[in-house]
Amino acid sequence: MSEIPAVTREPILQVDATPDEEYAVRILRAHRANCDVLWADNAVGAEPTDPLLVAMNEAQRQRAALLDQAIARLTGNAIVLTSDEARQVREALIWADAARGTRRSRSARVSAALALLDAKRGGS
């Protein structure tokens, strides 16, 4: 297994290390902020075509989702989803991210995912 060169890693520059009940959340949020960076092989910000970059972006999205779940649980804002529900929401959000900047209307898939989250939020 090859390792990504150190030069491509995003450092966490500073996290307030005050030993209080928010310390763990601050660490996770700092890592989560690094997940907002995606790789591209073009200048327009479109999804890359290089399979390695596609895989790296998918891993970045998965890391972001896991960190979002951990932060939500620690802050009391968790919505518990089954693995199938989580897949449905993830696919809808990836589609919505890919469609951003176009004039496409929100798909039925995105609408269903948002409805699922609203139902879970109300039912939990």
Helix (H) or strand (E) holding 89: helix 83-99
pLDDT (0 to 100) of residue 108: 63
Could you tell me how far CA 99 lies from the centroid of its own chain?
16
Could you tell me how far CA 78 lies from the centroid of its own chain?
15
> Who's near 49: CB < 8 A, 6+ residues apart?
41
14-45 residue pLDDT tens: 888 888 888 998 999 888 888 888 888 877 76
For the whole prediction, is pTM greater than 0.75? Answer: no
73-119 residue pLDDT tens: 888 876 667 777 777 777 777 766 665 555 445 556 666 776 777 67
pLDDT (0 to 100) of residue 14: 80
